[in-house]
């Protein structure tokens, strides 16, 4: 019995020996990932996340719908966009990245910088978040806002809010951020790729964004829009006179312009995005070729800038023939744009037009917009806006001038915004004849040849994403892609 | 080191073996029933290695050393007899038929040996000989189709590829479903080294095997599979059953036993996609010499220029199909598998030492697919008066090269299996071999859309090297006659290195493919090193008591386990010097990352067995675990179990003449499964941003970035609990010539630990949580028959049949649409409430109110907005049939057939063959224009009302390629999900045991030669003429049930084997 007891003791000793301390099991802190990170290290990720959506697939889909670009006939990648073949998985991945990447990170920055009263950082995050929310609201009409981004508070199936609620809320958040004292700031803002932490630039960004938000609802809530814009003008709000862009890209995998990274570096063929004849016809119309053509497109192998009729990707041609059509010019070191200075001027021009400011003031802003659009490529555009010039301001149809030039300026950098503005204003017009018809007016949209939608129908919204429908019971019933959103 | 010294000492001890005087004993071995001779019966002098076998007349003759007292005589199907020598020189022995299973001893959990009759649960033991004789280089492949309830499949036919083992179905949606492997009482690592280049798990997949495959089959004494209940004592890691491997040990003998086991094997592709032989190169119905598809005109046999015009010349060939084009590309694979072992024992010490070498070069030309494994196993045992010590050390070194599967990438280049299928039916693959030739090089290869397969296998490659040591020490001390203590410690340490490279492949500016926009491959080198270890300690006290008619056995034990993994991964892209694969070879900085994982667990367990009169056996067990991966304040979990075995044939002895053996078993057990480490707290991760095909990675412009990790932590995580009930019956009739073993089980797994996709609008992508429950129920039936048992001939049949039905009983509210397990293109693989654990969903036709298919302007069907369910991956049943014939003079002929009926799989091989027009299915209607049957077009009037009119747009030759492209005709995706039923001739073998008299002169005790064919034939349903339905590129767990993405073909193998025992 003595031995027995001895071995029981050894057994117990063995347990104590192996588990030597209570802490033996305390090895569950992830050594691979930090549990706390300051906003300065999160902001760069949020900014890159945002431009990687706006300037990549939204830009490609929008670029095809706005008829700058069309699918190359000898490859496949963007056929669904060009054919208006939209379903619940179309651009779902972008939704996913925007919510659980961009917006969540910006939310975290807002939270921490609010606690620390670092209002400059708060403004940056609020402005970028408002920009993103408006984008989603414009495309989906109803989106999660008030209950969104709150998984850590236990809300994993956020309800959807009406776009008007989102609009009002983001304006409120921008006003809150703008009302704070931005001079009181303890640490420099690192990692702001866009304005390097310059508070005044972010104020301009926020104001320009407010202008965009108000103008978008002009048709449906003109009182709200008018009051908001008037207030901006009355307060002498400053708007962007420079581009809001990220211009730090290098020709290196994962570090180049996001559109280049996706469409050129990673895809197995670089030839998916060809020039649309719609846009080429516009640029080359009136026997005066817009010099920007060489920055928007590469020459085809025949030495010409040639476009393909919109959506004519099923025609039976060889790769050599396809190579005669111009390719979109996309470089690894191209900047990625959120707002261009030109867009800011065109927004102001439209605002002044809507609020019945003098036509001279409107024209002045229009001219500055066109000049800025050319200046983006280091070109002098003054020749085009002269009397009798290709883009001379049209007093009779001022809105047509403004939106048409905004459309042309957004080519390649924000195709979806150009398309959204087309949906809102009907500019450029949709042509009733094909691009090859003698009576075709250059720049008018044609019905894509391989469209799955009948003539006269085109996408007016995106369909609630599949990922959301699978995991959020509050996702609204599906709405057809041809049903207009609230602001249309 | 101490172990080694001790073993060296043992070895020296054997060198001084004494010789002594011998006596010759002879006699005849017969069957007690009818007195027929028993040839090939084994006669062994007890306690020595002196042995012989009887000749065809049943006679034997053996030299018995002085001092030996007993002969042990054994024969298949007969009770082993021990006969006292007692000075006799002629001993005739009449053998009694054995009541199979009655006295069999089974190694159960924790290495406890128990009589099979006492087991209240399913345990199947396969002897080492049976494993070794299939001559596969890994253990589990040799058990394919042989064990009811255990599904074993090889991922591909590539050398060293992994093996998937699933016992009684999948019970965890995102957790581990692989069994726990125990070697000589020590849990060992079974990591499946499947590597993916991309985060979508289809890019550049490589399969460097699962580690359970490292163990040399020739070293195996036996393998026991504990299917459910029995495993509970092993704790949380045994929730999916246990594979217990016992390695060989020396036997006491006067001389060393030397054994050689060797084979040479030859393999060729078993299944390659069947391709059409009617239409040649082109697209949209016309011949185009740059196309990677067979959408061209019909073959006309006429001479035709093809390929690019290079230096004003072009190649000429007849426009005819090359029927065996793909098969001709492959070589005969060769494999050599040799093991030599030396073993013995004297007095109180035993040892076993073996060296095994496997060299395989697979079917892909070059050695780009090869596997070399060297293994050394050294075991020693010393038995003292009270203390028994065992130690073993198994060293394994592997060198493997794997031809990358899946989809190619922009930096490391194309992959073989994807690109080899994109060759038109008239272009000879073999003739492209000279890939530097001006017509076949990068600039001028006939298509810019795919790469020359010969370039891929010669220029891209990888090397996997792994050193692994599995060692254990086991000390057993008999404290008293009824109480013993065991201490067991084991370590399993693996160090591996991978170098993987993709060559630079850039077109010359202005060259043909450059102008066509072929993307440049910038080249890439990946370096990965990892260490993976596991330490395990067990301390067990075991007691035996007898109280009147009751026998009681009780144990209490303590277990501590640590598992650790660390890897360092670096890569560079944009290589500067062609053909130089080093991290220095780029102007771009190397990207490096480390990953570390540690998990600790301790547990206390107890088991008690009570037996009454040797016919009722009750076992009760319980275990409590504390795991480091659970929330600190709630990290303990408890699980009990009970099993009962009733030998009713013993209780009701009246039925014994009819039913000599009848056993009923019942069990109820609970096991737990803890989560992976680091699931409790939310973290940040280095930013890596989605940009469609691109990924933006930090630092960018010298600025670092972190993002909120997409997976939110969960402070309430609990272990997953499985509860299993089993009832089984074992019957043996007619002199044991009929045996039935049937089982029914019901397993419920609740509180599933799942990475649940969250609505992204919540701010996170995933959360690991306990949601829902899964049920698996099934039947297992094993039937053994001996239809003929005559003198010099015996025929044995074994049939096993398994049905497993899984059902997802419940999922949380937000998972009503299902949990993603895997997906590719438009096909999703989901766990859905009320359905079997994996169901396929994909696009469906959009239909008008009358159910007619709606087509678009081109006459091609439009997909409905909602995906539909295609079916499940779960088979209706699985079945194995074994036939074995024992003929005169030691000849054994046998074979195994495995059948699986039902279940679906995704196949990318089908997808790509449809896309390029090589699939036989694409010749429907001779590719003449056809209307989609019963189709309509939607017409919208000015008021927006939609009506449907009959479709009159036929799919013409020009659009047929769009019809068979699931990008443009999404409902076609259904054709990429195929029935994975199969019938496989698993093996067919002939073994010849050389007659004793031929070999005794060479002082050999046994020589066995054989020929074995593995996976010789495969039948699949017509819709799957693409791939071996067992293939997968997704490792060995549930996601692999989804199917394959450009997987390496499976192979058939013929081996010649030789076994010599000295």
Give residue B773's Cα distance to chain centre.
26
Beta strand residue intervals within A125-206, DSSP E:
142-144, 160-162
**pLDDT of A367 higher than 90:** yes
A positions 128-147 inside 8 Å of B (CB): 143-144
Rounded CA separation B722/B604 (Å): 19
Residue B889, SS3? helix
Q: What is the DSSP letter of A394?
A: -
Which among B1019, B1050, B918, B909 has a CA at the least distance from the CA of B322?
B918
pLDDT digits (tens, 9 = 90+) for A298-312: 999 999 999 999 999
Domain layout of chain A by residue ranges: 1-273+453-488
Pairing mode of beta strands B819-824, B827-831: antiparallel
For residue B769, give Cα distances in angstroms to B239, B490, B753, B838: 18, 33, 5, 19
- Ranges of residues in chain B whose predicted pLDDT is under 70: 1-21, 33-35, 76-77, 97-103, 198-200, 229-231, 814
Q: B922 vs A354, B952, B957, CA distance in Å?
A: 59, 21, 11
Cβ neighbours of A397 (radius 10 Å):
12
Phi and psi, residue B797, nearest 5°: -125, 135
SS3 B936: strand
**What is chain B's length?**
1062
**pLDDT at residue A13 in the model:** 58
Kindly give, in sequence order, each residue whose CB lies less than 8 Å from that of residue B965, ignoring residues fewer than 6 positions away.
A76, B914, B915, B972
How do strand B1043-1044 and strand B81-84 relate by DSSP bridges?
Answer: unpaired
Question: Is the Cβ pair B693, A105 closer than 8 Å?
Answer: no
Query: Which helix or strand (DSSP H or E) is residue B244 part of?
Result: strand B242-247
Residues of A in contact with B554 (CB under 8 A): none
Per the CB < 8 A criterion, the answer to whether B775 and B748 are in contact is: yes
**If contacts are CB pairs under 8 Å, which of residues 269-288 in chain A contact chain B?**
269-271
Q: Which residues of A touch B594 (CB under 8 A)?
A: 32
Residue-level pLDDT at B77: 64
Q: Kindly list the distances between the CA atom of residue B75 and the CA atoms of A101, B57, B72, B80, B431, in Å, as whole numbers in the listed order.
A: 70, 14, 10, 7, 58
Q: How far is CA A405 from the centre of its chain?
A: 18
**Position of tokens 């060297």?**
B374
User: What is the rounded CA–CA span in Å between residue A479 and residue A465?
Assistant: 11
- pLDDT at position B58: 82
In which residue are the tokens 């927006």 written?
B944
- Whether residues A316 and B284 touch (CB distance < 8 A) is answered with yes
Residues of chain B in contact with residue A10, where contact means CB-CB under 8 angstroms, are 485
Asked if the C-beta of A152 comes within 8 angstroms of chain B's C-beta atoms, the answer is yes
Contact B408, B252 (CB under 8 A): no
| Nearest chain B residue (CA) to A46 | B707
Cβ atoms of B217 and B1055 within 8 Å: the answer is: no
Residues B408 and A203: their CA atoms lie apart, in Å, by 46
Q: What is the DSSP string of A293-325?
A: HHHHBPPPTTSS---B-TT---S---HHHHTTS
Note the pLDDT of residue A155.
93
Strands B370-383 and B313-318: unpaired
Contacts of B810 (CB under 8 A, 6+ apart): B772, B773, B833
Q: Which of A170, A200, A162 is nearest to A106 (CA)?
A: A170
Q: CB-hemisphere CA count at 13 Å for A79?
A: 17
CB pairs under 8 A between A and B: 326
pLDDT band for position A12 (cuts 50, 70, 90): low
Cα Rg, chain B, nearest whole Å: 32
Residue A329: other Cβ atoms inside 10 A: 16
R_g of chain A, CA atoms, integer Å = 26
User: Which chain B residue shows the shortest CA-CA distance from A96?
Assistant: B760
Nearest to A290 by CA among A281, A277, A303, A300: A281
Closest-CA residue of chain B to A478: B865
Q: Which residues from B are below 8 Å from A4, CB to CB?
A: 479-480, 483
Grouping H, G, I as helix, E, B as strand and the rest as coil, residue B1042 is helix
B633 has which bridge partners?
A: none
The per-residue pLDDT for B804 is 96
Task: Give the minimum alpha-carbon distance from A378 to chain B in angstroms, rounded to a whole number.
Answer: 24
Contact B359, B344 (CB under 8 A): no
- Name the residue among B595, B683, B762 with its Cβ closest to that of A155: B762
| Alpha carbon distance B212, A145 (integer Å) | 50
Nearest to B192 by CA among B178, B202, B173: B178
Contact across the interface for B689 and A48, Cβ inside 8 Å: yes
Q: Inform me whether the pLDDT recorded for A236 exceeds 80.
A: yes
- Give the H/E segment covering residue A365: helix A359-375
Q: How many Å lie between the alpha carbon of B364 and the closest alpha carbon of chain A? A: 25
Write out pLDDT tens, residues A185-235: 555 566 899 999 899 999 999 999 999 999 999 999 999 999 999 999 999
Distance CA B703, CA B701 (A): 6
CA gap B149, B120 in Å, rounded: 17
Note the ipTM here. 0.94
Contact residues, A window 25-84, toward B, CB-based 8 Å cutoff: 25-37, 41-46, 48-49, 52-53, 56-57, 76, 79-80
CB contact under 8 A, B706 and A156: no
Instruction: Quickly name the fold that domain A1-273+453-488 has.
Output: 1.25.40
B632/A28 CB distance under 8 A: yes
Cα dihedral A412, A414, A418, A420 in deg (nearest 10): 150
Q: What is the pLDDT of residues B394-444, one digit of tens each?
A: 999 999 999 999 999 888 999 999 999 999 999 999 999 999 999 999 999
**What is the chain B residue with the closest CA to A32?**
B595
- CA distances (Å), origin B633, targets B605, B611, B742: 21, 40, 44
Using CB atoms, pick whichever of A14, A80, A100 lies closest to residue B710. Answer: A100
**198-237 in chain A: CB under 8 A from chain B:** none
The H or E element spanning position B882 is: strand B877-887
B526, B762, B943, best to mutate vs chain A, most A CBs in 10 Å: B762
Contacts of residue B42, Cβ cutoff 8 Å, sequence gap at least 6: B51, B52, B53, B73, B74, B75
Angle (deg, nearest 10), helices A415-425 and A398-410? 160
What pLDDT, on a 0 to 100 scale, did the predictor assign at position B91? Answer: 86
Q: Which residues of A touch B515 (CB under 8 A)?
A: 301, 320, 323
Q: Cβ separation of A95 and B760 shorter than 8 Å?
A: yes
- Between B411, B683, B701, which is nearest A33 by CB? B683
Residues of A in contact with B483 (CB under 8 A): 4, 7
Residue B841's beta-bridge partner residues?
B828, B869
Q: Which residue has the tokens 């998990």?
A: B599
Helix (H) or strand (E) holding B798: strand B793-810
Task: With CB atoms and an 8 Å threshold, state whether A48 touches B687.
Answer: yes
Structure confidence at residue A17 (pLDDT): 53
Q: Using CA atoms in the order B87, B88, B93, B99, what is the torsion angle rounded to 10 degrees?
A: -10
pLDDT of residue B101: 43
- What is the rounded CA–CA span in Å between residue B73 and residue B94? 10
Instruction: Name every chain B residue with its beta carbon within 8 A of the beta carbon of A30.
Output: 677-678, 681, 683
Residue A253 has pLDDT above 70, yes or no: yes
């Amino acid at each position: 019995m003595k031995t027995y007891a001895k071995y029981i003791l050894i057994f117990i000793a063995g347990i104590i020996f192996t588990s030597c301390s209570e802490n033996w099991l305390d090895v569950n802190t992830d050594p691979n990932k930090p549990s706390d990170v300051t906003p300065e290290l999160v902001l760069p990720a949020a900014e890159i996340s945002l431009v990687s959506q706006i300037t990549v697939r939204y830009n490609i889909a929008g670029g095809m719908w706005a008829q700058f670009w069309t699918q190359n006939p000898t490859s496949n990648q963007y056929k669904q966009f060009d054919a208006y073949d939209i379903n619940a998985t179309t651009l779902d991945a972008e939704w996913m990245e925007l919510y659980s990447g961009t917006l969540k990170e910006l939310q975290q920055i807002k939270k921490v910088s609010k606690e620390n009263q670092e209002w400059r950082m708060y403004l940056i995050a609020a402005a970028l978040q408002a920009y993103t929310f408006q984008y989603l609201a414009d495309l989906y009409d109803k989106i999660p806002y008030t209950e969104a981004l709150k998984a850590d508070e236990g809300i994993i199936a956020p309800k959807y809010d009406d776009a008007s609620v989102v609009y009002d809320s983001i304006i409120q958040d921008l006003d809150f951020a703008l009302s704070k004292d931005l001079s009181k700031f303890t640490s420099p803002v690192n990692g702001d790729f866009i304005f390097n932490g310059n508070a005044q630039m972010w104020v301009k960004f926020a104001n320009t964004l407010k202008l965009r938000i108000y103008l978008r609802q002009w048709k449906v809530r003109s009182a709200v829009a008018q009051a908001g814009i008037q207030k901006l003008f009355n307060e002498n709000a400053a708007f962007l006179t420079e581009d809001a862009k990220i211009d730090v890209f290098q020709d290196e995998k994962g570090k180049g312009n996001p559109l280049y990274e996706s469409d050129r570096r990673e895809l197995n063929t670089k030839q998916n995005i060809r020039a649309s004849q719609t846009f080429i016809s516009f640029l080359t119309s009136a026997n005066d070729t817009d010099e920007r053509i060489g920055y928007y497109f590469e020459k085809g192998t025949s030495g010409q800038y040639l476009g393909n009729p919109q959506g004519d990707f099923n025609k039976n041609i060889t790769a050599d023939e396809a190579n005669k059509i111009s390719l979109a010019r996309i470089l690894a070191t191209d900047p990625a744009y959120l707002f261009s200075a030109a867009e800011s001027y065109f927004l102001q021009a439209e605002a002044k037009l809507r609020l019945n400011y003098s036509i001279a003031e409107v024209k002045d802003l229009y001219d500055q917009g066109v000049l800025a659009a050319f200046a983006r490529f280091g070109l002098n555009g003054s020749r085009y806006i002269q009397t009798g010039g290709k883009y001379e301001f049209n007093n009779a149809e001022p809105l047509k001038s403004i939106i048409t030039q905004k459309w042309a300026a957004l080519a390649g950098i924000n195709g979806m915004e150009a398309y959204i503005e087309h949906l809102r204003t009907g500019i450029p017009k949709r042509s009733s004849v094909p691009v090859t018809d003698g009576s075709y007016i250059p720049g008018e949209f044609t019905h894509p040849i391989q469209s799955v939608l009948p003539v006269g129908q085109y996408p007016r919204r995106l369909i609630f994403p599949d990922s959301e429908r699978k995991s959020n019971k509050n996702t609204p019933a599906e709405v057809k892609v041809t049903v207009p959103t609230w602001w249309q | 080191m101490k172990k080694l010294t001790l073993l060296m000492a043992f070895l020296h001890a054997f060198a001084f073996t004494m010789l002594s005087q011998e006596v010759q004993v002879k006699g005849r071995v017969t069957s007690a029933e009818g007195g027929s001779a028993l040839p090939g019966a084994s006669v062994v002098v007890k306690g020595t290695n002196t042995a012989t076998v009887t000749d065809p007349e049943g006679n034997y003759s053996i030299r018995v050393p002085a001092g030996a007292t007993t002969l042990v005589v054994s024969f298949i199907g007969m009770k082993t007899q021990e006969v006292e020598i007692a000075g006799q020189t002629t001993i005739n022995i009449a053998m009694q038929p054995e009541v199979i299973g009655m006295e069999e001893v089974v190694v159960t959990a924790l290495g406890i040996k128990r009589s099979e009759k006492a087991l209240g649960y399913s345990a199947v033991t396969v002897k080492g000989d049976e494993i070794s004789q299939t001559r596969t280089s890994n253990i589990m492949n040799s058990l394919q189709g042989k064990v009811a309830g255990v599904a074993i499949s090889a991922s591909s036919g590539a050398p060293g590829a992994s093996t998937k083992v699933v016992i009684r179905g999948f019970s965890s949606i995102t957790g581990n479903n692989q069994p726990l492997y125990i070697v000589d009482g020590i849990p060992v690592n079974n990591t499946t080294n499947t590597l993916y280049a991309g985060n979508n798990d289809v890019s550049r997949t490589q399969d460097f095997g699962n580690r359970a495959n490292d163990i040399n089959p020739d070293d195996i004494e036996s393998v026991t599979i504990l299917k459910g209940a029995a495993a509970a004592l092993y704790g949380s890691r045994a929730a999916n059953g246990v594979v217990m491997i016992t390695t060989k040990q020396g036997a006491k003998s006067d001389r060393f036993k030397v054994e050689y086991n060797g084979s040479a094997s030859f393999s060729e592709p078993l299944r390659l996609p069947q391709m059409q032989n009617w239409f040649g190169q082109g697209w949209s119905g016309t011949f185009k010499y740059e196309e990677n598809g067979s959408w061209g005109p019909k073959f006309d046999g006429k001479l035709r220029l093809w390929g690019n015009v290079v230096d004003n010349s072009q190649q000429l060939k007849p426009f005819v199909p090359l029927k065996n084009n793909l098969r001709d590309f492959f070589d005969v694979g060769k494999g050599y598998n040799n093991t030599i072992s030396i073993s013995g024992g004297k007095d109180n010490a035993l040892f076993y030492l073996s060296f095994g070498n496997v060299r395989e070069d697979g079917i892909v030309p070059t050695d780009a697919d090869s596997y070399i494994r060297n293994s050394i196993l050294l075991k020693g045992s010393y038995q003292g008066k009270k203390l028994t010590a065992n130690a073993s050390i198994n060293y394994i070194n592997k060198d493997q090269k794997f031809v990358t599967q899946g989809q190619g990438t922009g930096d490391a280049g194309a992959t073989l299996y994807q690109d080899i299928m994109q060759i038109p039916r008239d272009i000879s693959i073999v003739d492209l071999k000279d890939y530097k030739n001006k017509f076949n090089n990068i600039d001028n290869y006939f298509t810019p859309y795919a790469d020359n397969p010969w370039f891929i296998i010669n220029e891209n490659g990888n090397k996997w090297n792994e050193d692994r040591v599995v060692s254990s020490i086991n000390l057993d001390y008999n404290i008293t006659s009824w109480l013993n203590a065991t201490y067991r410690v084991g370590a399993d340490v693996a160090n591996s290195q991978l170098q993987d490279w993709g060559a630079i492949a850039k077109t010359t500016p202005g060259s043909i493919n450059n102008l066509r926009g072929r993307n440049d491959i910038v080249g890439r080198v990946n370096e990965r090193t990892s260490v993976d270890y596991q330490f395990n300690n067990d301390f067990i006290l075991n007691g035996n008591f007898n109280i009147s008619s009751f026998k009681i056995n009780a144990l209490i034990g303590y277990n501590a386990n640590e598992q650790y993994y660390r890897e360092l991964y670096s890569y560079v892209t944009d290589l500067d010097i062609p053909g130089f694969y080093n991290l220095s070879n780029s102007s771009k900085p190397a990207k490096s990352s480390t990953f570390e994982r540690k998990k600790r667990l301790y547990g206390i367990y107890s088991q008690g067995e009570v037996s009454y009169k040797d016919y009722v056996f009750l076992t009760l067990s319980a275990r409590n675990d504390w795991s480091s991966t659970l929330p600190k304040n709630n990290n303990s979990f408890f699980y009990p179990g009970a099993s009962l075995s009733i030998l009713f044939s013993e209780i009701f002895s009246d039925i014994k003449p009819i039913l000599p053996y009848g056993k009923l078993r019942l069990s109820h057990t609970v096991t737990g499964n803890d989560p992976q480490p680091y699931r409790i707290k939310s973290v940040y991760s280095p930013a890596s941003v989605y940009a469609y095909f691109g990924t933006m990675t930090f630092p960018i412009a010298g600025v670092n970035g972190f993002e909120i990790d997409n997976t939110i932590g969960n402070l309430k995580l609990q272990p997953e609990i499985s509860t299993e009930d089993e009832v089984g019956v074992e019957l043996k009739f007619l002199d044991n010539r009929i045996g039935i073993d049937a089982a029914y089980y019901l397993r419920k797994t609740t509180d599933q630990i799942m990475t649940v996709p969250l609505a992204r609008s919540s701010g996170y992508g995933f959360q690991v949580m306990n949601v829902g429950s899964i049920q698996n129920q099934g039947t297992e039936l094993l039937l053994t028959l001996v239809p003929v048992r005559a003198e010099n001939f015996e025929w044995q049949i074994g049939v096993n049949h398994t049905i497993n039905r899984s059902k997802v009983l419940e999922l949380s509210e937000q998972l009503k649409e299902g949990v993603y397990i895997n997906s590719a293109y438009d096909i999703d693989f989901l766990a859905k409430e009320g359905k079997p654990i994996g169901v396929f969903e994909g696009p469906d036709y959009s239909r008008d109110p009358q159910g007619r298919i709606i087509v678009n302007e081109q006459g091609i069907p439009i997909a409905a907005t909602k995906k539909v369910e295609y079916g499940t991956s779960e088979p209706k049943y699985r079945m194995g049939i074994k036939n074995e014939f024992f003929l005169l003079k030691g000849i054994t002929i046998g074979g195994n057939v495995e059948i699986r009926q039902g279940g679906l799989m995704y196949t990318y091989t089908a997808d790509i063959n449809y896309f390029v027009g090589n699939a036989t299915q694409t010749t429907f209607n001779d590719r003449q224009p056809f209307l989609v049957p019963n189709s309509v077009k939607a017409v919208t009037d000015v008021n927006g009302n939609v009506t449907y009119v009959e479709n009159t747009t036929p799919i013409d030759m020009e659009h047929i390629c769009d019809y068979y492209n699931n990008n443009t005709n999404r409902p076609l995706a259904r054709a990429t999900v195929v029935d994975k039923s199969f019938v496989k001739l698993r093996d067919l073998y002939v073994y010849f045991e050389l007659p004793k008299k031929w070999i005794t002169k060479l002082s050999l005790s046994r020589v066995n030669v054989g020929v074995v064919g593995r996976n010789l034939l495969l039948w699949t349903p017509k819709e799957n003429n693409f791939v071996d339905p067992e293939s997968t590129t997704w490792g060995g767990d549930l996601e692999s049930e989804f199917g394959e993405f450009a997987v390496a073909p499976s192979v058939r193998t013929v081996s010649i084997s030789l076994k010599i025992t000295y």
